[in-house]
Amino acid sequence: MARMNVLVVGGGGREHALVWKLAQSPKVRAIFWSPGNPAAPCDSKVEKLSLPAEDSDGLARFAEARKVDLAVIGPEAPLVAGLANALRAKGLKVFGPERDGARLEGSKVFSKRFFLRHGIPTGRAEMFSDFASALAFARRHPKPLVVKADGLAAGKGVLLCRDDAEAERALGQVMREKAFGDAGREVLVEECLTGPEVSVMAITDGLDFRVLASAQDHKRVFDRDEGPNTGGMGAYSPAPVFTPELEARVRTEVFERTLVGLKVEKIPFCGVLYAGMMLTPNGPKILEYNCRFGDPETQVVLPRLKSDLAEVLLAACEGRLGNVALEWTFEAAVCVVLAAGGYPGAFLKGDPISGLDAAAAKPGACVFHAGTAIRDSRTVTHGGRVLGVTALGPTLREATARAYAAADAIAFDKKHCRRDIAARALAAG
Protein backbone atom coordinates (compact mmCIF):
# COMPACT_ATOMS: atom_id res chain seq x y z
CA MET A 1 0.00 0.00 0.00
CA ALA A 2 1.33 3.42 -0.94
CA ARG A 3 1.55 5.94 1.88
CA MET A 4 -1.63 7.96 2.20
CA ASN A 5 -2.59 11.60 2.44
CA VAL A 6 -5.44 11.86 4.96
CA LEU A 7 -7.88 14.72 5.54
CA VAL A 8 -9.48 14.91 8.99
CA VAL A 9 -12.39 17.33 9.30
CA GLY A 10 -13.30 18.86 12.68
CA GLY A 11 -11.62 20.65 15.54
CA GLY A 12 -12.73 19.02 18.78
CA GLY A 13 -11.41 16.43 21.20
CA ARG A 14 -12.67 13.56 19.06
CA GLU A 15 -10.78 14.87 16.03
CA HIS A 16 -7.63 15.42 18.08
CA ALA A 17 -7.83 11.77 19.13
CA LEU A 18 -8.37 10.67 15.51
CA VAL A 19 -5.38 12.70 14.27
CA TRP A 20 -3.24 11.39 17.15
CA LYS A 21 -4.11 7.79 16.27
CA LEU A 22 -3.84 8.16 12.49
CA ALA A 23 -0.42 9.80 12.86
CA GLN A 24 0.86 6.55 14.41
CA SER A 25 0.26 4.68 11.15
CA PRO A 26 3.35 4.02 9.03
CA LYS A 27 0.95 3.97 6.04
CA VAL A 28 0.14 7.68 6.45
CA ARG A 29 2.33 10.23 4.69
CA ALA A 30 0.53 13.42 5.67
CA ILE A 31 -2.52 14.44 7.69
CA PHE A 32 -4.37 17.63 6.79
CA TRP A 33 -6.44 18.66 9.80
CA SER A 34 -9.16 21.21 9.13
CA PRO A 35 -9.80 23.41 10.99
CA GLY A 36 -7.81 21.68 13.73
CA ASN A 37 -7.33 23.16 17.18
CA PRO A 38 -4.45 24.58 19.25
CA ALA A 39 -3.16 21.15 20.27
CA ALA A 40 0.54 20.83 19.55
CA PRO A 41 1.03 18.65 16.44
CA CYS A 42 1.40 15.07 17.59
CA ASP A 43 3.63 14.32 14.61
CA SER A 44 5.55 16.26 11.96
CA LYS A 45 3.25 14.79 9.30
CA VAL A 46 0.27 16.83 10.67
CA GLU A 47 -0.57 20.08 8.86
CA LYS A 48 -3.43 22.28 10.06
CA LEU A 49 -5.72 24.11 7.63
CA SER A 50 -7.97 27.11 8.08
CA LEU A 51 -10.96 25.72 6.18
CA PRO A 52 -14.03 25.37 8.42
CA ALA A 53 -15.90 22.06 8.56
CA GLU A 54 -18.91 23.77 6.98
CA ASP A 55 -17.00 24.74 3.81
CA SER A 56 -17.92 21.71 1.70
CA ASP A 57 -16.80 23.22 -1.60
CA GLY A 58 -13.48 24.48 -0.21
CA LEU A 59 -12.68 21.14 1.45
CA ALA A 60 -13.59 19.24 -1.72
CA ARG A 61 -11.36 21.46 -3.87
CA PHE A 62 -8.48 21.17 -1.40
CA ALA A 63 -8.77 17.38 -1.14
CA GLU A 64 -8.77 17.02 -4.91
CA ALA A 65 -5.82 19.38 -5.38
CA ARG A 66 -3.71 17.76 -2.66
CA LYS A 67 -4.53 14.22 -3.79
CA VAL A 68 -6.14 13.14 -0.54
CA ASP A 69 -6.46 9.35 -0.39
CA LEU A 70 -8.78 9.18 2.62
CA ALA A 71 -11.12 11.77 4.17
CA VAL A 72 -12.37 11.25 7.72
CA ILE A 73 -15.27 13.45 8.85
CA GLY A 74 -15.48 13.85 12.61
CA PRO A 75 -18.47 16.03 13.61
CA GLU A 76 -22.12 15.32 12.97
CA ALA A 77 -23.14 18.73 11.55
CA PRO A 78 -21.08 18.55 8.31
CA LEU A 79 -22.24 14.94 7.80
CA VAL A 80 -25.88 15.97 8.12
CA ALA A 81 -25.19 18.91 5.78
CA GLY A 82 -23.79 16.58 3.09
CA LEU A 83 -20.02 17.05 3.25
CA ALA A 84 -19.49 13.38 2.41
CA ASN A 85 -21.60 13.85 -0.72
CA ALA A 86 -19.43 16.78 -1.85
CA LEU A 87 -16.19 14.88 -1.26
CA ARG A 88 -17.38 11.69 -2.95
CA ALA A 89 -18.51 13.75 -5.94
CA LYS A 90 -14.79 14.44 -6.45
CA GLY A 91 -14.09 10.71 -6.50
CA LEU A 92 -12.58 10.69 -2.99
CA LYS A 93 -12.70 7.86 -0.48
CA VAL A 94 -14.66 9.17 2.48
CA PHE A 95 -15.17 7.66 5.91
CA GLY A 96 -18.50 9.12 6.95
CA PRO A 97 -22.06 8.62 5.69
CA GLU A 98 -23.71 10.77 3.07
CA ARG A 99 -26.66 13.00 3.87
CA ASP A 100 -29.28 10.19 3.72
CA GLY A 101 -27.37 7.95 6.12
CA ALA A 102 -26.62 10.83 8.46
CA ARG A 103 -30.36 11.24 9.06
CA LEU A 104 -29.99 8.43 11.59
CA GLU A 105 -28.43 11.10 13.80
CA GLY A 106 -29.75 14.29 12.25
CA SER A 107 -33.40 13.41 12.88
CA LYS A 108 -34.55 11.52 15.95
CA VAL A 109 -37.97 11.19 14.35
CA PHE A 110 -36.47 9.52 11.27
CA SER A 111 -34.31 7.20 13.37
CA LYS A 112 -37.16 6.21 15.72
CA ARG A 113 -39.33 5.30 12.76
CA PHE A 114 -36.39 3.41 11.24
CA PHE A 115 -36.00 1.39 14.47
CA LEU A 116 -39.69 0.53 14.51
CA ARG A 117 -39.78 -0.41 10.80
CA HIS A 118 -36.90 -2.84 11.15
CA GLY A 119 -37.58 -4.42 14.53
CA ILE A 120 -34.68 -2.80 16.36
CA PRO A 121 -35.47 -2.81 20.11
CA THR A 122 -36.18 0.71 21.34
CA GLY A 123 -38.47 2.63 23.67
CA ARG A 124 -42.05 3.53 22.82
CA ALA A 125 -42.51 7.08 21.56
CA GLU A 126 -44.86 9.45 19.76
CA MET A 127 -43.78 12.28 17.46
CA PHE A 128 -45.29 15.78 17.40
CA SER A 129 -44.91 19.06 15.54
CA ASP A 130 -47.69 20.81 17.46
CA PHE A 131 -47.13 22.00 21.05
CA ALA A 132 -50.71 21.47 22.25
CA SER A 133 -50.87 17.91 20.94
CA ALA A 134 -47.50 17.06 22.45
CA LEU A 135 -48.50 18.51 25.81
CA ALA A 136 -51.84 16.67 25.86
CA PHE A 137 -50.07 13.38 25.15
CA ALA A 138 -47.37 14.07 27.76
CA ARG A 139 -50.03 14.72 30.42
CA ARG A 140 -51.62 11.33 29.68
CA HIS A 141 -48.29 9.51 29.58
CA PRO A 142 -46.95 7.77 32.71
CA LYS A 143 -44.07 9.62 34.35
CA PRO A 144 -41.17 9.92 34.15
CA LEU A 145 -40.93 10.50 30.41
CA VAL A 146 -38.36 11.95 28.04
CA VAL A 147 -38.74 14.87 25.63
CA LYS A 148 -36.31 14.86 22.70
CA ALA A 149 -35.72 17.58 20.14
CA ASP A 150 -35.77 16.05 16.67
CA GLY A 151 -32.60 17.58 15.24
CA LEU A 152 -29.01 18.15 16.27
CA ALA A 153 -28.66 19.79 19.69
CA ALA A 154 -25.02 19.14 20.69
CA GLY A 155 -26.04 16.34 23.03
CA LYS A 156 -28.32 18.62 25.07
CA GLY A 157 -31.73 18.14 23.42
CA VAL A 158 -32.86 15.28 25.68
CA LEU A 159 -34.91 16.37 28.70
CA LEU A 160 -36.06 14.09 31.53
CA CYS A 161 -39.50 14.99 32.90
CA ARG A 162 -40.65 13.62 36.26
CA ASP A 163 -44.09 15.24 36.35
CA ASP A 164 -46.56 17.25 34.26
CA ALA A 165 -44.97 20.59 35.16
CA GLU A 166 -41.53 19.46 33.97
CA ALA A 167 -43.04 18.03 30.78
CA GLU A 168 -44.78 21.32 30.00
CA ARG A 169 -41.60 23.26 30.75
CA ALA A 170 -39.49 20.95 28.54
CA LEU A 171 -41.90 21.09 25.61
CA GLY A 172 -42.13 24.87 25.91
CA GLN A 173 -38.37 25.17 25.99
CA VAL A 174 -37.96 23.03 22.87
CA MET A 175 -41.00 23.98 20.77
CA ARG A 176 -41.90 27.53 21.80
CA GLU A 177 -38.70 29.11 23.11
CA LYS A 178 -36.65 27.33 20.41
CA ALA A 179 -33.84 26.66 22.89
CA PHE A 180 -32.34 24.27 20.32
CA GLY A 181 -33.29 26.23 17.22
CA ASP A 182 -34.71 24.30 14.28
CA ALA A 183 -33.92 21.05 16.12
CA GLY A 184 -37.17 21.66 18.03
CA ARG A 185 -39.56 21.85 15.09
CA GLU A 186 -40.56 18.29 15.94
CA VAL A 187 -40.25 16.43 19.22
CA LEU A 188 -40.43 12.89 20.49
CA VAL A 189 -42.25 12.16 23.73
CA GLU A 190 -40.75 8.88 24.80
CA GLU A 191 -41.01 6.39 27.62
CA CYS A 192 -38.20 6.64 30.15
CA LEU A 193 -36.06 3.52 29.93
CA THR A 194 -34.12 2.47 33.01
CA GLY A 195 -30.86 0.61 33.48
CA PRO A 196 -27.16 1.20 32.85
CA GLU A 197 -26.24 3.07 29.68
CA VAL A 198 -23.43 1.95 27.41
CA SER A 199 -21.99 3.33 24.18
CA VAL A 200 -21.37 0.76 21.46
CA MET A 201 -19.68 1.90 18.25
CA ALA A 202 -19.27 -0.14 15.11
CA ILE A 203 -17.34 0.66 11.96
CA THR A 204 -19.23 -0.41 8.85
CA ASP A 205 -18.85 -0.36 5.08
CA GLY A 206 -22.57 -1.02 4.63
CA LEU A 207 -22.00 -4.74 4.16
CA ASP A 208 -20.02 -5.81 7.22
CA PHE A 209 -19.32 -4.21 10.56
CA ARG A 210 -16.73 -4.41 13.30
CA VAL A 211 -17.75 -3.59 16.87
CA LEU A 212 -15.30 -1.36 18.73
CA ALA A 213 -14.38 -1.74 22.39
CA SER A 214 -17.24 -0.79 24.69
CA ALA A 215 -17.28 2.50 26.58
CA GLN A 216 -19.49 4.22 29.12
CA ASP A 217 -20.13 7.96 28.94
CA HIS A 218 -21.20 10.29 31.77
CA LYS A 219 -23.73 12.78 30.39
CA ARG A 220 -24.81 14.74 33.47
CA VAL A 221 -22.69 17.70 34.46
CA PHE A 222 -22.40 16.86 38.17
CA ASP A 223 -21.37 13.84 40.24
CA ARG A 224 -23.91 11.08 40.90
CA ASP A 225 -25.48 11.84 37.51
CA GLU A 226 -27.09 15.06 38.68
CA GLY A 227 -27.70 18.28 36.77
CA PRO A 228 -28.43 18.91 33.09
CA ASN A 229 -27.21 16.80 30.19
CA THR A 230 -23.94 17.75 28.51
CA GLY A 231 -22.03 16.57 25.48
CA GLY A 232 -20.22 14.19 27.86
CA MET A 233 -18.18 14.77 31.02
CA GLY A 234 -15.98 11.71 30.77
CA ALA A 235 -15.86 8.09 29.73
CA TYR A 236 -14.12 4.81 30.39
CA SER A 237 -13.38 1.63 28.44
CA PRO A 238 -14.05 -1.23 28.63
CA ALA A 239 -17.48 -1.11 30.27
CA PRO A 240 -17.74 -4.23 32.48
CA VAL A 241 -21.54 -4.09 32.35
CA PHE A 242 -21.37 -4.84 28.60
CA THR A 243 -20.89 -8.59 28.83
CA PRO A 244 -20.15 -10.90 25.88
CA GLU A 245 -23.77 -12.08 26.05
CA LEU A 246 -25.05 -8.52 25.74
CA GLU A 247 -22.62 -7.80 22.93
CA ALA A 248 -23.94 -10.80 21.01
CA ARG A 249 -27.50 -9.50 21.36
CA VAL A 250 -26.54 -5.98 20.25
CA ARG A 251 -24.71 -7.38 17.24
CA THR A 252 -27.75 -9.39 16.17
CA GLU A 253 -30.67 -7.21 17.25
CA VAL A 254 -29.19 -3.78 16.54
CA PHE A 255 -26.30 -3.68 14.09
CA GLU A 256 -27.31 -6.59 11.83
CA ARG A 257 -30.91 -5.36 11.64
CA THR A 258 -29.69 -1.84 10.94
CA LEU A 259 -27.58 -2.95 7.99
CA VAL A 260 -30.50 -4.95 6.62
CA GLY A 261 -32.74 -1.91 7.00
CA LEU A 262 -30.25 0.37 5.26
CA LYS A 263 -30.03 -2.06 2.35
CA VAL A 264 -33.82 -2.35 2.10
CA GLU A 265 -34.15 1.44 2.06
CA LYS A 266 -31.24 1.79 -0.40
CA ILE A 267 -29.24 4.02 1.93
CA PRO A 268 -25.46 3.57 1.51
CA PHE A 269 -23.52 3.84 4.75
CA CYS A 270 -19.76 3.90 5.26
CA GLY A 271 -18.76 5.20 8.65
CA VAL A 272 -19.54 4.70 12.32
CA LEU A 273 -22.83 3.48 13.72
CA TYR A 274 -22.72 4.64 17.32
CA ALA A 275 -25.54 3.13 19.36
CA GLY A 276 -26.43 4.68 22.69
CA MET A 277 -27.86 1.65 24.49
CA MET A 278 -29.92 1.28 27.66
CA LEU A 279 -29.50 -2.11 29.30
CA THR A 280 -33.06 -2.46 30.57
CA PRO A 281 -34.54 -5.32 32.62
CA ASN A 282 -36.18 -6.39 29.32
CA GLY A 283 -32.92 -6.48 27.41
CA PRO A 284 -30.79 -3.94 25.54
CA LYS A 285 -32.70 -1.13 23.81
CA ILE A 286 -31.32 1.60 21.62
CA LEU A 287 -31.83 5.18 22.75
CA GLU A 288 -30.43 6.82 19.64
CA TYR A 289 -27.93 6.47 16.84
CA ASN A 290 -25.04 8.78 16.14
CA CYS A 291 -23.40 8.50 12.73
CA ARG A 292 -19.83 9.33 13.78
CA PHE A 293 -17.31 8.52 16.48
CA GLY A 294 -18.51 9.44 19.96
CA ASP A 295 -17.05 12.25 22.00
CA PRO A 296 -15.56 11.56 24.58
CA GLU A 297 -15.84 7.81 23.92
CA THR A 298 -13.32 8.04 21.07
CA GLN A 299 -10.75 9.38 23.53
CA VAL A 300 -10.87 6.11 25.50
CA VAL A 301 -11.50 3.65 22.67
CA LEU A 302 -8.74 4.67 20.24
CA PRO A 303 -5.90 4.51 22.82
CA ARG A 304 -6.87 0.85 23.35
CA LEU A 305 -6.83 0.00 19.62
CA LYS A 306 -3.71 -1.90 18.54
CA SER A 307 -4.75 -2.15 14.88
CA ASP A 308 -3.72 0.47 12.32
CA LEU A 309 -6.68 2.87 12.24
CA ALA A 310 -5.80 4.20 8.79
CA GLU A 311 -5.88 0.71 7.31
CA VAL A 312 -9.20 -0.07 8.99
CA LEU A 313 -10.92 3.10 7.76
CA LEU A 314 -9.56 2.68 4.23
CA ALA A 315 -10.82 -0.92 4.17
CA ALA A 316 -14.28 0.36 5.11
CA CYS A 317 -14.18 2.92 2.30
CA GLU A 318 -13.19 0.20 -0.19
CA GLY A 319 -15.90 -2.25 0.90
CA ARG A 320 -13.49 -4.86 2.28
CA LEU A 321 -14.06 -4.52 5.99
CA GLY A 322 -14.99 -8.20 6.11
CA ASN A 323 -11.29 -9.02 5.69
CA VAL A 324 -10.23 -6.92 8.69
CA ALA A 325 -9.89 -8.03 12.31
CA LEU A 326 -9.45 -5.52 15.13
CA GLU A 327 -6.91 -6.01 17.90
CA TRP A 328 -7.17 -4.39 21.33
CA THR A 329 -4.90 -3.87 24.29
CA PHE A 330 -6.01 -5.36 27.60
CA GLU A 331 -5.36 -2.02 29.31
CA ALA A 332 -8.25 0.15 30.47
CA ALA A 333 -8.69 3.83 29.56
CA VAL A 334 -10.39 6.69 31.39
CA CYS A 335 -11.13 10.21 30.13
CA VAL A 336 -11.94 13.10 32.47
CA VAL A 337 -13.41 16.16 30.75
CA LEU A 338 -12.35 19.54 32.11
CA ALA A 339 -15.16 22.02 31.50
CA ALA A 340 -15.43 25.79 31.67
CA GLY A 341 -17.36 27.38 34.51
CA GLY A 342 -21.08 27.51 33.74
CA TYR A 343 -21.12 24.71 31.15
CA PRO A 344 -23.52 23.45 29.75
CA GLY A 345 -25.10 26.88 30.11
CA ALA A 346 -23.34 30.15 29.40
CA PHE A 347 -19.64 29.59 30.04
CA LEU A 348 -16.49 31.62 30.37
CA LYS A 349 -13.90 32.02 27.59
CA GLY A 350 -10.36 33.31 27.45
CA ASP A 351 -9.02 32.00 30.76
CA PRO A 352 -5.32 31.00 30.56
CA ILE A 353 -4.61 27.28 30.97
CA SER A 354 -1.54 26.06 32.83
CA GLY A 355 -0.10 22.61 33.46
CA LEU A 356 -0.66 21.06 30.02
CA ASP A 357 2.89 19.75 29.70
CA ALA A 358 2.92 18.48 33.29
CA ALA A 359 -0.34 16.61 32.69
CA ALA A 360 0.88 15.02 29.45
CA ALA A 361 4.03 13.85 31.26
CA LYS A 362 2.02 11.79 33.77
CA PRO A 363 2.24 7.99 33.29
CA GLY A 364 -0.10 6.76 30.55
CA ALA A 365 -1.63 10.19 30.02
CA CYS A 366 -2.65 12.08 26.88
CA VAL A 367 -4.39 15.46 26.83
CA PHE A 368 -6.88 15.97 24.01
CA HIS A 369 -7.88 19.57 23.22
CA ALA A 370 -11.59 20.17 22.73
CA GLY A 371 -12.35 23.85 23.35
CA THR A 372 -9.12 25.84 23.45
CA ALA A 373 -7.64 28.80 21.59
CA ILE A 374 -4.35 30.69 21.41
CA ARG A 375 -4.28 34.27 22.69
CA ASP A 376 -1.04 36.24 23.11
CA SER A 377 0.92 33.00 22.65
CA ARG A 378 -0.93 31.34 25.53
CA THR A 379 -3.45 28.50 25.43
CA VAL A 380 -6.81 29.69 26.78
CA THR A 381 -10.31 28.30 27.24
CA HIS A 382 -12.62 28.75 24.26
CA GLY A 383 -15.38 26.12 24.58
CA GLY A 384 -17.62 24.50 27.14
CA ARG A 385 -15.69 21.25 27.18
CA VAL A 386 -12.11 22.48 27.23
CA LEU A 387 -9.92 19.36 27.50
CA GLY A 388 -10.28 15.60 27.62
CA VAL A 389 -7.61 14.17 29.91
CA THR A 390 -7.17 10.48 29.11
CA ALA A 391 -4.98 7.84 30.69
CA LEU A 392 -4.29 4.16 30.07
CA GLY A 393 -3.62 1.77 32.92
CA PRO A 394 -3.27 -1.96 33.55
CA THR A 395 -6.58 -1.89 35.45
CA LEU A 396 -9.59 0.41 35.42
CA ARG A 397 -8.69 1.60 38.92
CA GLU A 398 -5.14 2.49 37.89
CA ALA A 399 -6.32 4.19 34.69
CA THR A 400 -8.76 6.26 36.75
CA ALA A 401 -6.08 7.30 39.22
CA ARG A 402 -3.75 8.27 36.38
CA ALA A 403 -6.42 10.28 34.58
CA TYR A 404 -7.25 12.28 37.70
CA ALA A 405 -3.56 12.82 38.50
CA ALA A 406 -3.13 14.33 35.04
CA ALA A 407 -6.38 16.31 35.24
CA ASP A 408 -5.36 17.78 38.60
CA ALA A 409 -2.10 19.04 37.09
CA ILE A 410 -4.07 21.41 34.82
CA ALA A 411 -5.46 24.70 36.06
CA PHE A 412 -7.72 27.45 34.73
CA ASP A 413 -10.26 29.72 36.39
CA LYS A 414 -13.45 27.96 37.49
CA LYS A 415 -12.30 24.62 36.05
CA HIS A 416 -14.97 21.99 36.56
CA CYS A 417 -14.84 18.21 36.26
CA ARG A 418 -16.76 15.31 37.66
CA ARG A 419 -14.91 13.39 40.33
CA ASP A 420 -16.78 10.11 39.85
CA ILE A 421 -15.85 8.97 36.33
CA ALA A 422 -15.88 5.14 36.33
CA ALA A 423 -16.90 5.10 40.02
CA ARG A 424 -19.85 2.74 39.51
CA ALA A 425 -17.76 0.22 37.63
CA LEU A 426 -15.08 0.38 40.33
CA ALA A 427 -17.67 -0.05 43.10
CA ALA A 428 -19.13 -3.07 41.33
CA GLY A 429 -15.68 -4.67 41.38
Residues 8/69, Cβ–Cβ less than 8 Å: no
CA distances from 169 to 98, 102, 138, 173 (A): 35, 30, 11, 6
The CATH number covering residue 400 comes to: 3.90.600.10
Percent of the chain with pLDDT over 90: 83
**Are residues 307 and 220 part of one domain?**
yes
Structural domain that includes position 297 = 194-323
Long-range CB contact pairs, 375-380, < 8 A, 24+: 375/350, 378/352, 378/353, 379/38, 379/352, 379/353, 380/349, 380/350, 380/351, 380/352, 380/353, 380/412
- 134 occurs within a structural domain: yes
Same domain membership, residue 271 and residue 178? no
In-domain check, residue 49: yes
| CA–CA separation, 177 and 19 (whole Å) | 38
Task: Give me the helices (H) in 89-215, please.
Answer: 99-106, 108-117, 131-140, 164-171
CATH of the domain at 251: 3.30.470.20
Please check whether residues 186 and 202 belong to one and the same domain.
Answer: no
What is the rounded CA–CA span in Å between residue 381 and residue 347? 10
**Domain annotation covers residue 118:** no
Mark whether 233 and 264 lie in a shared domain. yes
The model's pLDDT over 163-186, given as tens digits with 9 standing for 90+, comes to 999 999 999 888 888 888 887 788
User: How many domains does one find in the chain?
Assistant: 4
What CATH number has the domain bearing residue 145? 3.30.1490.20
What local confidence, expressed as pLDDT, does residue 1 receive?
57
Contact 285, 196 (CB under 8 A): no
Cβ 15 vs Cβ 74: under 8 Å: yes
pLDDT at 155: 65
Domain boundary among 272, 305, 323: 323
User: What is the pLDDT at residue 42?
Assistant: 73
Per-residue pLDDT, 179: 83
Residues 42 and 139 in one domain: no
In this structure, the answer to whether residues 319 and 337 fall within a common structural domain is: no
Q: For the chain, which ranges sit under pLDDT 50?
A: none
pLDDT at position 428: 83
- Which of 142, 171, 191 marks a domain boundary? 191
CA 23 to chain centre: 20
Q: Can you give the pLDDT at residue 44?
A: 83
- Mark whether 310 and 371 lie in a shared domain: no
Q: Based on the domain organization, do 88 and 153 belong to the same domain?
A: no
**End-of-domain residue from the set 165, 191, 217:** 191
* Residues 206 and 277 grouped into a single domain: yes
Q: Are residues 80 and 129 in the same domain?
A: no
pLDDT tens across 69-80, in order? 999 999 999 999
The residue among 215, 285, 276 whose CA lies nearest residue 249 is 285
